[in-house]
Amino acid sequence: MTDLHKKYGLRRILNACGKMTALSGAKVLPEIAAQASASLGEFYDLDELQAAASKVIARVTGAEAGCITACTAAGLTEAIAACLTGSDLAKVLKLPVVDWCAGRVVIQKGHCVNYGAPVTQNIRVTGAEVVEVGEVNRTLREHMRHELDAGGVVAVMHVESHHAVQKGMLGLESVVELAHEFGVPVIVDGAAQDQRVAAMIEAGADLVVVSAHKYLCSTTGGVVAGRRDLVDAVYLQNRGIGRPMKAGKEAIFGAMAALEYREQEDMQAWTAEQDRKVALVLESLAGIEGLALGVDPDPNGCPFSRAKITPDPEVCGIDVFELNRRMAEGDPSVRLRAHHANEGYLYIDAIELDDEEVRLVCERIRELLTGN
């Protein structure tokens, strides 16, 4: 097999950060790669292929229908567009000009995240108006009800992500209850929440958009699941502003294979394996003076945990920023999860690491913290 790192002068990455787009998503599982690869030498009617994908998505998630987009961000933009246009092709062709409705999209202020780009931009590019409700650390039902009651709201965007403020926000069930009282659909940005799609659909979300290339371990793509009429309207955007966001055959076949793999996967065994690797991290880092160790569950309720490391800079002679930087500069480059570095700690996400890679990561940390 060709060593692509060597061929193109790329650094080898040990991914202790997690399923991040900037690190190319996930390692595609062999079963999924095989199906995507098998599709490359053939022609398919993409409408027929997307209809087949819809059946797989519906079966696995419990949604009425589904489709595959270029990525989660594409799916979110097309979902907003679908709520603006419905199945009216004339409106699809007119976007981002919206002159038939107010086109207001409500989102909690604490959900206005930047995942590499602002989620609010996914809304604005359709021609819709972003309506932020609440404060950064608190949204009351009254905040959202006020904007819904004002009228002209075509959708509520709800973000399920570690990027979003976790405290003081309205949960999905409350958002669905309020929005549906006014006949407004709820779109969920669940990029890394593919393990929870069925639960979010059951909670009443009208459209849920997740990544195919994170925990589903597929080729790059987005999975849209939800109400049939809205999914049809999402797919219709391929004849308008969604044209640059369309999924190719390899993305669709890859996502289908990933969903079928998930359907038969033993998730309890998968979680147990992740727990075992987290325990290996703790064991490998035990006894380092000045280093506090812990385990935190995924903040959005996915079935895994991460190892938490908190070095005391007075004892270790290095703070989390320097530790993170020097780990990344090494060869191979080790990427830690540094979302909370300003709070004094880092995470080690072991999902994309095998046992030998866990040991290499921990040896590097030990060397930098102890000099040995």
CA distance linking residue 283 with residue 277, whole number of Å = 10
CB-based contact 298:306 (threshold 8 Å): yes
Q: What tokens does 119 get? A: 């989620």
Specify the pLDDT at position 191: 87
Instruction: Report the percentage of the chain scoring pLDDT > 70.
Output: 100
Measured on CA atoms in the order 36, 41, 46, 51, is the torsion positive or negative? Answer: negative
Fold for 44-264, please state it.
Answer: Aspartate Aminotransferase; domain 2 (3.40.640)
Residues 6+ apart with CB under 8 A from 230: 79, 82, 83, 185, 206, 207
Nearest to 83 by CA among 223, 232, 247, 202: 232
**How confident is the model at residue 1, as a pLDDT?**
61
Per-residue pLDDT, 311: 96
Question: What average pLDDT does the structure give for the chain?
Answer: 95
254, 36 contact by CB (below 8 A): yes
Instruction: Tell me the pLDDT band of 160, cut-offs 50, 70 and 90.
Output: very high
Q: Where are the domains of the chain?
A: 9-22+267-370, 44-264
In this prediction, residues 336-360 reach a mean pLDDT of: 96
9-22+267-370: CATH, from 3.40.50.2000, 3.30.750.24, 3.90.1150.180, 3.40.47.10: 3.90.1150.180
- In the chain, the amino acid numbered 153 is V
- With a pLDDT cut of 90, the percent of the chain lying above it is 92
